[in-house]
Chains A and B, each alone.
Chain A
Amino acid sequence: MALYSEKVMEHFRNPRNVGVIEDADGVGEVGNAKCGDIMKMYLKINDDEIIEDVKFETFGCGSAIASSSMATELIKGKPVSEAMKLTNAAVAEALDGLPDYKMHCSVLAEEAIKSALDDYYSRK
Protein backbone atom coordinates (compact mmCIF):
# COMPACT_ATOMS: atom_id res chain seq x y z
CA MET A 1 0.00 0.00 0.00
CA ALA A 2 1.35 3.37 -0.97
CA LEU A 3 1.44 6.32 1.39
CA TYR A 4 -0.35 8.57 -1.10
CA SER A 5 -2.81 8.20 -3.98
CA GLU A 6 -1.48 8.18 -7.55
CA LYS A 7 -3.00 11.63 -8.00
CA VAL A 8 -1.12 13.07 -5.01
CA MET A 9 2.14 11.58 -6.26
CA GLU A 10 1.50 12.86 -9.78
CA HIS A 11 0.96 16.43 -8.52
CA PHE A 12 3.89 16.11 -6.13
CA ARG A 13 6.23 14.95 -8.90
CA ASN A 14 4.94 17.45 -11.47
CA PRO A 15 3.54 20.37 -9.51
CA ARG A 16 1.50 22.83 -11.58
CA ASN A 17 1.90 26.60 -11.34
CA VAL A 18 5.13 26.61 -9.37
CA GLY A 19 6.84 29.95 -9.00
CA VAL A 20 6.31 33.62 -8.30
CA ILE A 21 4.24 36.41 -9.87
CA GLU A 22 6.29 39.56 -9.44
CA ASP A 23 3.38 41.98 -10.03
CA ALA A 24 0.76 39.90 -8.23
CA ASP A 25 -2.55 41.47 -7.25
CA GLY A 26 -2.77 39.36 -4.14
CA VAL A 27 -0.20 37.40 -2.13
CA GLY A 28 -0.91 35.12 0.82
CA GLU A 29 1.39 33.12 3.05
CA VAL A 30 0.20 30.64 5.67
CA GLY A 31 1.69 28.00 7.95
CA ASN A 32 4.96 28.18 9.81
CA ALA A 33 8.35 26.58 9.66
CA LYS A 34 8.00 25.21 13.18
CA CYS A 35 5.29 22.80 12.06
CA GLY A 36 7.05 22.09 8.81
CA ASP A 37 4.64 23.59 6.26
CA ILE A 38 4.59 27.01 4.60
CA MET A 39 2.54 27.88 1.53
CA LYS A 40 2.73 31.10 -0.40
CA MET A 41 0.22 31.93 -3.16
CA TYR A 42 0.45 34.67 -5.80
CA LEU A 43 -2.64 35.74 -7.75
CA LYS A 44 -2.99 37.78 -10.93
CA ILE A 45 -6.56 39.02 -11.17
CA ASN A 46 -8.02 40.97 -14.11
CA ASP A 47 -10.61 43.75 -14.17
CA ASP A 48 -13.41 41.21 -14.58
CA GLU A 49 -12.29 39.64 -11.29
CA ILE A 50 -11.09 36.50 -13.04
CA ILE A 51 -7.96 34.78 -11.68
CA GLU A 52 -5.81 34.96 -14.79
CA ASP A 53 -2.76 33.43 -13.25
CA VAL A 54 -1.73 31.79 -10.02
CA LYS A 55 1.64 30.60 -8.75
CA PHE A 56 2.77 29.00 -5.53
CA GLU A 57 5.83 28.30 -3.44
CA THR A 58 5.70 25.62 -0.76
CA PHE A 59 8.01 24.35 1.95
CA GLY A 60 6.55 21.09 3.12
CA CYS A 61 5.87 17.42 2.66
CA GLY A 62 4.61 15.61 -0.40
CA SER A 63 0.95 16.22 0.36
CA ALA A 64 1.59 19.92 1.06
CA ILE A 65 3.17 20.34 -2.38
CA ALA A 66 0.44 18.29 -4.08
CA SER A 67 -2.32 20.23 -2.24
CA SER A 68 -0.81 23.55 -3.32
CA SER A 69 -0.59 22.38 -6.90
CA MET A 70 -4.15 21.07 -6.97
CA ALA A 71 -5.56 24.19 -5.30
CA THR A 72 -3.97 26.42 -7.94
CA GLU A 73 -5.45 24.22 -10.69
CA LEU A 74 -8.90 24.48 -9.13
CA ILE A 75 -8.94 28.30 -9.10
CA LYS A 76 -7.01 29.18 -12.23
CA GLY A 77 -9.25 30.93 -14.74
CA LYS A 78 -12.10 31.09 -12.22
CA PRO A 79 -13.89 34.19 -10.91
CA VAL A 80 -12.71 35.44 -7.53
CA SER A 81 -16.18 34.77 -6.10
CA GLU A 82 -15.80 31.11 -6.95
CA ALA A 83 -12.26 30.85 -5.60
CA MET A 84 -13.51 32.24 -2.29
CA LYS A 85 -15.69 29.16 -2.00
CA LEU A 86 -12.86 26.67 -2.43
CA THR A 87 -12.81 24.22 0.47
CA ASN A 88 -10.07 21.96 1.74
CA ALA A 89 -12.41 19.01 1.19
CA ALA A 90 -12.58 19.88 -2.52
CA VAL A 91 -8.79 19.97 -2.72
CA ALA A 92 -8.45 16.63 -0.94
CA GLU A 93 -11.18 15.07 -3.06
CA ALA A 94 -9.57 16.24 -6.27
CA LEU A 95 -6.42 14.49 -5.11
CA ASP A 96 -8.36 11.24 -4.61
CA GLY A 97 -8.05 11.70 -0.86
CA LEU A 98 -5.30 12.34 1.65
CA PRO A 99 -4.32 10.29 4.70
CA ASP A 100 -6.18 11.57 7.80
CA TYR A 101 -3.07 13.02 9.42
CA LYS A 102 -2.30 14.92 6.19
CA MET A 103 -5.69 16.62 5.85
CA HIS A 104 -4.19 19.74 7.40
CA CYS A 105 -2.19 20.17 4.16
CA SER A 106 -5.42 20.68 2.23
CA VAL A 107 -6.58 23.09 4.95
CA LEU A 108 -3.39 25.10 4.48
CA ALA A 109 -4.00 25.24 0.71
CA GLU A 110 -7.51 26.62 1.25
CA GLU A 111 -6.18 29.14 3.76
CA ALA A 112 -3.33 30.22 1.48
CA ILE A 113 -5.75 31.04 -1.33
CA LYS A 114 -8.14 32.88 1.02
CA SER A 115 -5.21 34.81 2.45
CA ALA A 116 -4.11 35.85 -1.06
CA LEU A 117 -7.70 36.88 -1.89
CA ASP A 118 -7.93 38.88 1.34
CA ASP A 119 -4.75 40.65 0.31
CA TYR A 120 -6.29 41.35 -3.11
CA TYR A 121 -9.41 42.88 -1.51
CA SER A 122 -7.42 44.91 0.98
CA ARG A 123 -5.43 46.46 -1.87
CA LYS A 124 -8.56 47.49 -3.79
Chain B
Amino acid sequence: MIYADNAATTAMSEAAIARMTEVMRQTYGNPSSLYSIGQEAKEVLEQARADIASVIGANPNEIIFTSGGSEADNQAITSAARFGAKKGKKHIISSAFEHHAVLHTLNKLKEEGFEITLLDVHEDGLIRPEEVEAAIREDTCLVTIMYANNEIGTIQPIRKIGEICKTKGVTFHTDAVQAMAHIPVNVDDDNIGMLSASAHKFHGPKGVGFLYVRKGVPVFNLIEGGAQERGKRAGTENVAGIAAMAEALKEATTDMSEKMTSVAAKRDKLIQGLTEIPHSALNGDAAHRLPGNVNFCFEGIEGESLLLLLDDKGIQASSGSACTSGSLDPSHVLLAIGRVHDVAHGSLRLSISEDTTDEDVKTIISSVGEVVEYLRSFSPIWRDLTTGKKQFIL
Protein backbone atom coordinates (compact mmCIF):
# COMPACT_ATOMS: atom_id res chain seq x y z
CA MET B 1 0.00 0.00 0.00
CA ILE B 2 1.17 3.51 -0.80
CA TYR B 3 -0.39 6.11 1.45
CA ALA B 4 -0.31 9.43 -0.38
CA ASP B 5 -2.98 11.37 1.50
CA ASN B 6 -0.92 12.87 4.32
CA ALA B 7 -2.70 16.21 3.94
CA ALA B 8 -5.91 14.44 5.01
CA THR B 9 -4.26 12.76 7.96
CA THR B 10 -0.99 11.07 8.82
CA ALA B 11 -0.06 7.77 10.40
CA MET B 12 0.88 8.31 14.04
CA SER B 13 4.59 8.01 14.68
CA GLU B 14 5.82 5.20 16.92
CA ALA B 15 7.16 7.77 19.37
CA ALA B 16 3.77 9.51 19.57
CA ILE B 17 1.95 6.19 20.07
CA ALA B 18 4.43 5.19 22.76
CA ARG B 19 4.04 8.53 24.54
CA MET B 20 0.26 8.42 24.30
CA THR B 21 -0.10 4.90 25.71
CA GLU B 22 2.46 5.65 28.41
CA VAL B 23 0.48 8.68 29.59
CA MET B 24 -2.85 6.84 29.33
CA ARG B 25 -1.52 4.02 31.50
CA GLN B 26 0.50 5.95 33.99
CA THR B 27 -0.82 9.47 34.20
CA TYR B 28 -4.58 9.12 34.22
CA GLY B 29 -5.18 11.77 36.87
CA ASN B 30 -7.17 14.92 36.23
CA PRO B 31 -4.75 17.86 35.88
CA SER B 32 -7.17 19.99 37.92
CA SER B 33 -6.94 17.66 40.95
CA LEU B 34 -4.63 18.68 43.75
CA TYR B 35 -3.40 15.21 44.79
CA SER B 36 -0.24 13.72 43.40
CA ILE B 37 -1.52 11.81 40.35
CA GLY B 38 -3.52 14.87 39.33
CA GLN B 39 -0.45 17.04 39.65
CA GLU B 40 1.60 14.51 37.67
CA ALA B 41 -0.90 14.89 34.85
CA LYS B 42 -0.63 18.65 35.21
CA GLU B 43 3.13 18.34 34.85
CA VAL B 44 2.77 16.27 31.66
CA LEU B 45 0.38 18.89 30.31
CA GLU B 46 2.66 21.82 31.11
CA GLN B 47 5.72 20.07 29.73
CA ALA B 48 3.84 19.50 26.45
CA ARG B 49 2.83 23.16 26.42
CA ALA B 50 6.43 24.26 26.94
CA ASP B 51 7.71 21.90 24.23
CA ILE B 52 5.16 23.11 21.68
CA ALA B 53 5.77 26.76 22.55
CA SER B 54 9.48 26.28 22.13
CA VAL B 55 9.08 24.81 18.63
CA ILE B 56 7.13 27.84 17.35
CA GLY B 57 9.01 30.49 19.34
CA ALA B 58 6.12 31.26 21.70
CA ASN B 59 5.73 31.48 25.48
CA PRO B 60 3.99 28.49 27.05
CA ASN B 61 1.16 30.66 28.36
CA GLU B 62 0.35 31.66 24.77
CA ILE B 63 -0.76 28.11 23.89
CA ILE B 64 -4.39 26.97 24.29
CA PHE B 65 -5.07 23.29 23.70
CA THR B 66 -8.12 22.54 21.55
CA SER B 67 -9.83 19.57 19.92
CA GLY B 68 -8.04 20.35 16.66
CA GLY B 69 -7.55 22.87 13.89
CA SER B 70 -11.22 23.59 13.24
CA GLU B 71 -11.91 24.53 16.85
CA ALA B 72 -8.80 26.71 16.94
CA ASP B 73 -9.88 28.51 13.75
CA ASN B 74 -13.39 29.04 15.11
CA GLN B 75 -12.10 30.38 18.41
CA ALA B 76 -9.54 32.73 16.86
CA ILE B 77 -11.87 34.21 14.27
CA THR B 78 -14.94 34.48 16.48
CA SER B 79 -12.85 36.11 19.23
CA ALA B 80 -11.35 38.72 16.93
CA ALA B 81 -14.80 39.46 15.54
CA ARG B 82 -16.43 39.85 18.97
CA PHE B 83 -13.70 42.09 20.30
CA GLY B 84 -13.60 44.04 17.04
CA ALA B 85 -17.35 44.61 17.14
CA LYS B 86 -17.00 46.14 20.61
CA LYS B 87 -14.87 48.85 19.03
CA GLY B 88 -17.15 49.20 16.04
CA LYS B 89 -14.74 47.27 13.78
CA LYS B 90 -16.70 44.77 11.73
CA HIS B 91 -14.54 44.14 8.68
CA ILE B 92 -12.51 40.95 8.18
CA ILE B 93 -10.02 40.12 5.43
CA SER B 94 -9.41 36.55 4.30
CA SER B 95 -8.89 34.64 1.08
CA ALA B 96 -11.12 32.72 -1.30
CA PHE B 97 -9.40 29.39 -0.74
CA GLU B 98 -9.26 29.09 3.04
CA HIS B 99 -10.28 25.87 4.77
CA HIS B 100 -14.02 25.58 5.43
CA ALA B 101 -13.36 25.91 9.18
CA VAL B 102 -12.43 29.51 8.33
CA LEU B 103 -14.84 30.19 5.44
CA HIS B 104 -17.92 28.81 7.18
CA THR B 105 -17.10 30.76 10.36
CA LEU B 106 -16.77 33.90 8.24
CA ASN B 107 -20.10 33.16 6.52
CA LYS B 108 -21.76 32.99 9.89
CA LEU B 109 -20.24 36.33 10.88
CA LYS B 110 -21.40 37.80 7.59
CA GLU B 111 -24.96 36.83 8.46
CA GLU B 112 -24.44 38.65 11.75
CA GLY B 113 -23.52 41.85 9.95
CA PHE B 114 -19.77 41.61 9.47
CA GLU B 115 -18.27 42.60 6.16
CA ILE B 116 -15.90 40.02 4.70
CA THR B 117 -13.32 40.71 2.00
CA LEU B 118 -12.05 37.52 0.34
CA LEU B 119 -8.83 38.23 -1.50
CA ASP B 120 -8.03 36.77 -4.89
CA VAL B 121 -5.50 33.94 -4.75
CA HIS B 122 -4.40 34.31 -8.37
CA GLU B 123 -3.61 31.49 -10.79
CA ASP B 124 -0.49 30.50 -8.88
CA GLY B 125 -2.41 30.09 -5.62
CA LEU B 126 -0.51 32.88 -3.89
CA ILE B 127 -1.93 35.88 -2.08
CA ARG B 128 -0.26 39.20 -2.80
CA PRO B 129 0.78 41.09 0.36
CA GLU B 130 0.15 44.43 -1.33
CA GLU B 131 -3.45 43.37 -1.91
CA VAL B 132 -3.77 42.57 1.79
CA GLU B 133 -2.42 46.03 2.60
CA ALA B 134 -4.79 47.71 0.17
CA ALA B 135 -7.77 45.88 1.65
CA ILE B 136 -7.10 46.96 5.25
CA ARG B 137 -9.50 49.65 6.45
CA GLU B 138 -10.05 51.66 9.61
CA ASP B 139 -12.69 49.16 10.69
CA THR B 140 -10.72 45.98 9.91
CA CYS B 141 -10.56 43.80 13.03
CA LEU B 142 -8.88 40.72 11.59
CA VAL B 143 -6.80 39.39 8.74
CA THR B 144 -6.93 35.60 8.51
CA ILE B 145 -4.81 33.92 5.84
CA MET B 146 -3.75 30.28 5.80
CA TYR B 147 -0.04 29.50 6.07
CA ALA B 148 -0.21 26.89 3.32
CA ASN B 149 -3.16 25.68 1.32
CA ASN B 150 -4.52 22.23 2.15
CA GLU B 151 -5.29 21.20 -1.42
CA ILE B 152 -2.62 22.74 -3.61
CA GLY B 153 0.06 23.23 -0.96
CA THR B 154 0.99 26.79 -1.87
CA ILE B 155 2.87 28.58 0.93
CA GLN B 156 1.64 32.12 1.46
CA PRO B 157 3.88 35.14 2.11
CA ILE B 158 2.95 35.00 5.79
CA ARG B 159 5.92 36.96 7.13
CA LYS B 160 5.19 39.90 4.84
CA ILE B 161 1.45 39.80 5.52
CA GLY B 162 2.16 39.59 9.25
CA GLU B 163 4.46 42.60 9.01
CA ILE B 164 1.79 44.64 7.25
CA CYS B 165 -0.80 43.73 9.89
CA LYS B 166 1.65 44.56 12.67
CA THR B 167 2.36 47.98 11.17
CA LYS B 168 -1.34 48.67 10.67
CA GLY B 169 -2.28 47.38 14.13
CA VAL B 170 -4.64 44.70 12.84
CA THR B 171 -4.81 41.23 14.44
CA PHE B 172 -3.38 38.56 12.15
CA HIS B 173 -4.47 34.93 12.40
CA THR B 174 -3.09 32.10 10.31
CA ASP B 175 -4.46 28.60 9.87
CA ALA B 176 -1.15 26.72 9.94
CA VAL B 177 -2.69 23.25 10.01
CA GLN B 178 -0.91 22.13 6.82
CA ALA B 179 2.33 23.99 7.44
CA MET B 180 3.05 23.08 11.05
CA ALA B 181 5.97 20.65 11.38
CA HIS B 182 6.41 20.52 7.60
CA ILE B 183 8.10 23.90 7.10
CA PRO B 184 9.65 26.26 9.68
CA VAL B 185 7.04 28.34 11.51
CA ASN B 186 8.04 30.97 14.06
CA VAL B 187 5.40 33.28 15.48
CA ASP B 188 7.83 36.15 16.09
CA ASP B 189 9.74 36.01 12.81
CA ASP B 190 6.42 35.63 10.96
CA ASN B 191 4.64 38.41 12.91
CA ILE B 192 1.75 36.11 13.79
CA GLY B 193 -0.94 37.15 16.28
CA MET B 194 -2.89 33.89 16.38
CA LEU B 195 -2.17 30.50 14.84
CA SER B 196 -4.11 27.23 14.55
CA ALA B 197 -2.55 23.77 14.34
CA SER B 198 -3.70 20.16 14.43
CA ALA B 199 -1.74 17.15 15.71
CA HIS B 200 -2.94 14.53 13.23
CA LYS B 201 -1.39 16.38 10.32
CA PHE B 202 2.09 15.80 11.73
CA HIS B 203 1.97 12.17 12.87
CA GLY B 204 0.19 12.95 16.14
CA PRO B 205 -3.26 11.76 17.25
CA LYS B 206 -6.64 12.96 15.92
CA GLY B 207 -8.91 15.16 18.01
CA VAL B 208 -6.21 17.39 19.44
CA GLY B 209 -4.65 20.65 18.33
CA PHE B 210 -3.74 24.04 19.64
CA LEU B 211 -4.32 27.73 19.23
CA TYR B 212 -1.42 30.11 19.73
CA VAL B 213 -2.55 33.52 20.98
CA ARG B 214 0.04 36.27 21.31
CA LYS B 215 0.10 37.96 24.71
CA GLY B 216 -2.19 40.99 24.56
CA VAL B 217 -4.48 39.58 21.84
CA PRO B 218 -7.87 39.02 23.48
CA VAL B 219 -9.69 35.72 23.08
CA PHE B 220 -12.77 34.33 24.69
CA ASN B 221 -13.79 30.71 25.15
CA LEU B 222 -16.12 28.86 22.80
CA ILE B 223 -16.82 26.16 25.37
CA GLU B 224 -18.22 27.18 28.75
CA GLY B 225 -17.39 25.23 31.88
CA GLY B 226 -14.39 24.85 34.13
CA ALA B 227 -11.34 27.07 34.33
CA GLN B 228 -9.03 24.87 32.25
CA GLU B 229 -6.63 26.60 29.84
CA ARG B 230 -6.72 29.76 31.93
CA GLY B 231 -10.47 29.98 31.40
CA LYS B 232 -10.11 30.03 27.61
CA ARG B 233 -11.17 26.45 26.91
CA ALA B 234 -13.29 24.50 29.37
CA GLY B 235 -13.27 20.72 29.65
CA THR B 236 -10.85 18.24 31.17
CA GLU B 237 -7.73 18.26 29.04
CA ASN B 238 -6.93 15.42 26.64
CA VAL B 239 -3.66 14.84 28.50
CA ALA B 240 -2.49 11.76 26.58
CA GLY B 241 -3.38 13.30 23.22
CA ILE B 242 -1.65 16.56 24.10
CA ALA B 243 1.50 14.76 25.29
CA ALA B 244 1.53 12.72 22.07
CA MET B 245 1.05 15.90 20.00
CA ALA B 246 4.08 17.48 21.67
CA GLU B 247 6.09 14.32 21.07
CA ALA B 248 5.10 14.22 17.39
CA LEU B 249 5.88 17.90 16.94
CA LYS B 250 9.33 17.60 18.51
CA GLU B 251 10.09 14.56 16.38
CA ALA B 252 8.87 16.12 13.13
CA THR B 253 10.80 19.34 13.67
CA THR B 254 14.08 17.59 14.50
CA ASP B 255 16.37 17.75 11.44
CA MET B 256 13.49 19.35 9.60
CA SER B 257 15.52 20.89 6.79
CA GLU B 258 16.97 17.46 5.84
CA LYS B 259 13.47 15.98 5.86
CA MET B 260 12.13 18.88 3.79
CA THR B 261 14.86 18.46 1.19
CA SER B 262 14.32 14.73 0.91
CA VAL B 263 10.50 14.93 0.67
CA ALA B 264 10.64 17.86 -1.78
CA ALA B 265 12.99 15.90 -4.06
CA LYS B 266 10.39 13.11 -4.27
CA ARG B 267 7.64 15.67 -4.79
CA ASP B 268 9.55 17.16 -7.72
CA LYS B 269 10.07 13.72 -9.27
CA LEU B 270 6.34 13.13 -9.02
CA ILE B 271 5.59 16.50 -10.60
CA GLN B 272 8.07 15.81 -13.38
CA GLY B 273 6.62 12.36 -14.05
CA LEU B 274 2.98 13.42 -14.01
CA THR B 275 3.63 16.45 -16.22
CA GLU B 276 4.45 13.95 -18.97
CA ILE B 277 0.84 12.78 -19.04
CA PRO B 278 -0.64 14.70 -21.98
CA HIS B 279 -3.10 17.49 -21.19
CA SER B 280 -2.31 17.63 -17.51
CA ALA B 281 -1.27 20.57 -15.36
CA LEU B 282 0.13 21.18 -11.91
CA ASN B 283 -2.18 23.21 -9.68
CA GLY B 284 -0.48 25.95 -7.72
CA ASP B 285 2.98 27.45 -7.81
CA ALA B 286 5.79 24.89 -8.06
CA ALA B 287 8.33 26.80 -5.96
CA HIS B 288 6.30 28.16 -3.05
CA ARG B 289 4.94 24.76 -2.19
CA LEU B 290 4.78 22.36 0.76
CA PRO B 291 7.47 19.68 0.43
CA GLY B 292 4.90 16.87 0.27
CA ASN B 293 2.17 18.35 -1.92
CA VAL B 294 1.44 17.44 -5.54
CA ASN B 295 -1.86 18.47 -7.13
CA PHE B 296 -2.72 17.91 -10.79
CA CYS B 297 -5.64 18.26 -13.13
CA PHE B 298 -6.07 15.74 -15.94
CA GLU B 299 -8.38 16.83 -18.71
CA GLY B 300 -11.21 14.52 -19.80
CA ILE B 301 -11.53 12.42 -16.65
CA GLU B 302 -13.32 12.62 -13.33
CA GLY B 303 -11.51 12.46 -10.01
CA GLU B 304 -13.57 9.98 -8.03
CA SER B 305 -13.18 7.17 -10.56
CA LEU B 306 -9.47 7.99 -10.66
CA LEU B 307 -9.24 7.61 -6.87
CA LEU B 308 -11.17 4.33 -6.82
CA LEU B 309 -8.96 2.78 -9.49
CA LEU B 310 -5.80 4.03 -7.78
CA ASP B 311 -7.10 2.49 -4.55
CA ASP B 312 -7.43 -0.82 -6.42
CA LYS B 313 -3.75 -0.44 -7.24
CA GLY B 314 -2.97 0.17 -3.58
CA ILE B 315 -2.52 3.94 -3.82
CA GLN B 316 -4.49 6.21 -1.50
CA ALA B 317 -4.92 9.80 -2.64
CA SER B 318 -7.60 12.47 -2.81
CA SER B 319 -9.41 14.65 -5.33
CA GLY B 320 -11.27 17.93 -5.55
CA SER B 321 -14.01 16.54 -7.78
CA ALA B 322 -17.65 17.22 -6.92
CA CYS B 323 -18.27 13.53 -6.31
CA THR B 324 -15.69 13.46 -3.56
CA SER B 325 -16.96 16.66 -1.99
CA GLY B 326 -20.58 15.53 -1.83
CA SER B 327 -21.82 18.56 -3.76
CA LEU B 328 -22.25 19.44 -7.42
CA ASP B 329 -19.34 21.86 -7.37
CA PRO B 330 -15.74 20.81 -7.49
CA SER B 331 -13.22 22.12 -4.98
CA HIS B 332 -13.52 25.82 -4.12
CA VAL B 333 -9.72 25.96 -4.08
CA LEU B 334 -9.38 24.87 -7.71
CA LEU B 335 -12.17 27.23 -8.78
CA ALA B 336 -10.42 30.04 -6.86
CA ILE B 337 -7.21 29.58 -8.87
CA GLY B 338 -9.25 29.81 -12.05
CA ARG B 339 -9.68 26.19 -13.05
CA VAL B 340 -12.98 25.73 -14.91
CA HIS B 341 -15.45 23.13 -13.63
CA ASP B 342 -14.72 20.53 -16.37
CA VAL B 343 -11.04 20.53 -15.51
CA ALA B 344 -11.42 20.88 -11.74
CA HIS B 345 -13.45 17.63 -11.64
CA GLY B 346 -10.39 15.78 -12.88
CA SER B 347 -8.02 16.68 -10.06
CA LEU B 348 -5.72 14.51 -8.00
CA ARG B 349 -3.93 15.46 -4.78
CA LEU B 350 -1.00 13.35 -3.70
CA SER B 351 0.45 14.31 -0.33
CA ILE B 352 3.56 12.35 0.50
CA SER B 353 5.66 12.05 3.66
CA GLU B 354 9.14 11.01 4.82
CA ASP B 355 7.88 7.43 4.56
CA THR B 356 7.31 7.67 0.80
CA THR B 357 10.08 5.82 -1.06
CA ASP B 358 11.62 6.38 -4.49
CA GLU B 359 10.00 3.10 -5.51
CA ASP B 360 6.59 4.47 -4.40
CA VAL B 361 7.15 7.55 -6.55
CA LYS B 362 7.80 5.40 -9.61
CA THR B 363 4.73 3.25 -8.91
CA ILE B 364 2.52 6.31 -8.46
CA ILE B 365 3.68 7.88 -11.73
CA SER B 366 3.08 4.72 -13.77
CA SER B 367 -0.23 3.87 -12.07
CA VAL B 368 -1.67 7.36 -12.49
CA GLY B 369 -0.64 7.31 -16.14
CA GLU B 370 -2.35 3.96 -16.71
CA VAL B 371 -5.57 4.92 -14.94
CA VAL B 372 -5.86 8.30 -16.67
CA GLU B 373 -5.34 6.66 -20.05
CA TYR B 374 -7.92 3.97 -19.27
CA LEU B 375 -10.58 6.46 -18.10
CA ARG B 376 -9.95 8.65 -21.12
CA SER B 377 -10.48 5.64 -23.41
CA PHE B 378 -14.23 5.77 -22.76
CA SER B 379 -14.73 9.40 -21.79
CA PRO B 380 -17.10 11.28 -24.12
CA ILE B 381 -15.31 14.52 -23.21
CA TRP B 382 -11.96 13.07 -24.21
CA ARG B 383 -13.49 11.93 -27.50
CA ASP B 384 -14.77 15.45 -28.16
CA LEU B 385 -11.37 16.88 -27.29
CA THR B 386 -9.39 14.49 -29.45
CA THR B 387 -11.77 14.78 -32.41
CA GLY B 388 -11.63 18.57 -32.31
CA LYS B 389 -15.26 19.06 -31.27
CA LYS B 390 -14.00 20.73 -28.09
CA GLN B 391 -10.86 22.74 -27.47
CA PHE B 392 -8.28 21.49 -25.01
CA ILE B 393 -7.85 23.74 -21.99
CA LEU B 394 -4.73 22.12 -20.55
| Known pairs A34-B342, A36-B328; A59 contacts B381 (CB<8 A) | yes
Query: Which residues 306-321 of B have a CB within 8 angstroms of A?
Result: 308-309, 312, 321
Q: A36-B321, A36-B330 are in contact. Are A60 and B302 (CB under 8 A)?
A: yes
Q: Does B380 contact A (CB under 8 A)?
A: yes
Complex Cα spacing A122 to B24, Å: 73
- Cβ-based interface call for A40 (8 A): yes
Query: In the complex, are the beta carbons of A12 and B378 less than 8 A apart?
Result: no
Interface centre among A20, A34, A58, A61 (most CB of B within 10 A): A61
Chain A residues within 8 Å of B330, by CB? 36
Name A45-85 residues within 8 Å CB distance of B.
56-62, 64-65
Chain A to chain B contacts (Cβ below 8 Å), 6 pairs = A13-B312, A36-B330, A59-B381, A62-B323, A65-B305, A101-B326
Smallest CB-CB separation from A40: which chain B residue?
B380
Neighbour of B380 across the interface among A34, A35, A36, A38, CB < 8 A: A38
Q: Are A33 and B381 in contact (CB under 8 A)?
A: yes
Q: When A40-B380, A58-B379, A59-B380 are in contact, do A33 and B305 touch as well, CB less than 8 Å? A: no
In the complex, B250 has a CB within 8 A of chain A: no
Give B residues with C-beta under 8 Å from A.
Answer: 300-305, 308-309, 312, 321-323, 326, 328, 330, 341-342, 345, 377-383
The closest CB in chain B to the CB of A39 belongs to B380
Q: A12-B308, A33-B342, A60-B302 are in contact. Are A38 and B381 (CB under 8 A)?
A: yes
What residues of chain A have their CB less than 8 Å away from a CB belonging to chain B? 9, 12-13, 15, 18-20, 29, 33-40, 56-62, 64-65, 101-102
- The distance in angstroms between the C-alpha atoms of A68 and B309, with both chains bound, is 17
Residue picked from B301, B321, B322, B326, most chain A C-beta under 10 Å: B322
What is the minimal beta-carbon distance from B379 to any residue of chain A, in angstroms? Answer: 4
Q: Report B-chain residues with C-beta under 8 Å of the C-beta of A62.
A: 304-305, 308, 323
Asked whether, in the complex, the Cβ of B381 is within 8 Å of the Cβ of A36, the reply is: no
Which of A12, A20, A102 interacts with B305 by CB under 8 Å? Answer: A12
Bound together, the chains give a CA A56 to CA B377 distance in angstroms of 11
CA of A12 to CA of B311, assembled, Å: 13
Bound Cα distance from A18 to B374, whole angstroms: 11
Quick one: closest B residue to A4, CB to CB? Answer: B308
The CA-CA distance from A59 to B304 in the complex, in Å, is 11
CA distance A64 to B322 in the complex (A): 13
A117→B120 CA distance, assembly (Å): 47
> Given that A34-B341, A34-B342, A36-B330 are contacting pairs, would A29 and B302 also be in contact in the complex, using a CB cutoff of 8 Å?
no
Which residue of chain B lies nearest to A31 when distances are taken between CB atoms in the complex?
B380
CA of A12 to CA of B374, assembled, Å = 12
Q: Which of A12, A36, A40, A57 has the most CB of B within 10 A?
A: A36
Complex alpha-carbon distance, A37 and B323, angstroms: 9
Tell me, rounded to whole Å, the shortest Cβ–Cβ distance linking B309 to chain A: 8
Q: Are B380 and A58 in contact (CB under 8 A)?
A: yes
Q: Nearest A residue to B304 by beta-carbon distance?
A: A61
5 additional contacts, CB 8 Å, given A15-B378, A36-B302, A59-B381?
A: A39-B380, A40-B380, A59-B379, A59-B382, A60-B305
A59-B323 in contact (CB<8A): no
Asked whether, in the complex, the Cβ of A29 is within 8 Å of the Cβ of B308, the reply is no
Across the two chains, which residue of chain B brings its CB closest to A37? B302
With the chains together, A33 CA to B389 CA distance in Å? Answer: 14
Residues of A within 8 A of B383 (CB): 20, 57
Q: Kindly list chain B residues whose C-beta atoms are within 8 Å of the C-beta of A56.
A: 378
Contact of A58 among B308, B321, B378 (CB under 8 A): B378
Contact with B322, one of A13, A29, A35 (Cβ below 8 angstroms): A35
CB distance from B63 to the nearest CB of A (A): 37
- Across-interface contacts of A13 in B (CB, < 8 A): 309, 312
In the complex, A15→B323 CA distance in Å? Answer: 19
Interchain CA distance A60-B342 in the complex, whole Å: 11
A38 neighbours in B (Cβ, 8 Å): 379-381
In the assembled complex, which residues on chain B have CB atoms less than 8 Å from the CB atom of A39? 380
Inter-chain contact B321/A18, CB cutoff 8 Å: no
Taking the closest CB of chain B, its distance from the CB of A37, in whole angstroms, is: 8
Closest to B319 in A: A61
The answer to whether B301 touches A61, judged by C-beta atoms less than 8 angstroms apart, is no
CB contact between A19 and one of B321, B342, B378 (< 8 Å): that residue: B378
